[in-house]
Structure 1
C-alpha cells in the first residue's frame, strides 16, 4: 500500500509539474508572439547577399594611382555629408514633434499667470526694523524664544505648502504628457 501511494504521489507531482511547465511555455510563446507583432515601424527582414569584394572598393584604373587617394577622400566627404543630412533631418523631425507636443499640452492645460509657480507680481514695502526683530523686547526673554519657535514653525509650514503645491503642479503637467 505504501509503495502504491508513493507512486501515485510521484505521478501527481509529475503531472502538476508538467502543467506548470506547459502553462509557462504557453505564456512565453504568447509574449514572444506579442513582441514580434509590435516590432517597430520600418523594421523588416532583408536578404543578405555575399559579395566578393569589400564595400569600400571601387574600380580604379591602374594608371591612376594618385587619383585613388582623391577618390577615397571624396567618398569619405560624401559619406560625411550624407550623415550630416540624416542627422539634420532627424533633429528637425524631433524639434517639430516636440513643438507639436508642447502646443498640444498648452491647449490641454490653459495656464493662467497666477498658476505658474514663482511668477507673481508683489508689492515691496519698506520696513523700519529687521524681520527677525519684530515683536521682540529682549532676546534673553522666554517669550522671545517662543516667538522664534512659532515663526520657525510657521516658516516651515509655509515652505512645505509651497513645495507640495509645486510638486502637485509638476505632477499634473507630467500626467498631461
Structure 2
C-alpha cells in the first residue's frame, strides 16, 4: 500500500520525512523571526509586514533583516545562514533528495556542520550529567527514527548534523528573544 504522504509526489518516504523535518523547523524559525522583528521594530502583533498574509515580508526578506541586525553575533549568523542554505536546497531543488545530495550544492557546509556537531558533542560529554544524558537520548531517538530507512551511515550522520543545527538555531533564537523582550518595554 502506498503511503498517503508520498502518494503522487515522487518522494520516497525518507525524502518526504526530511523535507517535512526541514520545513517544520523553518516554519518554527520564521515565527520566531517575525516575533523578533515585531519586538525590535516595535510593531503591533497585527503588523502586515510580519503577518501571515501574502502582503507580509518573505522569509528571505526577514532573513536579510536578521542578518543585518547587530543584535546577532557573527557566529550565530553563520548558523542561521547555514540553516537556510540547507532549507532552500530542500524546498527549491528537486535534486536535493537527501542530506548527501543537498550538501553537494553547498560548498564547505558539510565541514562546517561536522565541526560544529563534533564540538557540541565534545562539550556535552565534558559537561556530563544532564547535557550528556540528553545527547545520548537524542542520539538514540535519531537512530530509532532512521532505522526503517535504507540509508547510508553518512546520511544518518548528516541527518543528525541537521537536527543538531536546527536545535541550535531555534533554541539560540528563543534564548535571544528572552533577552531582548525587555527592549520592547522601553
Q: Same fold (TM over 0.5)?
A: no
Structure with higher Rg: it is 1
What is the TM-score when the length of structure 2 is the normalising length?
0.21
Higher relative contact order (CA 8 A, sep 6+): 2
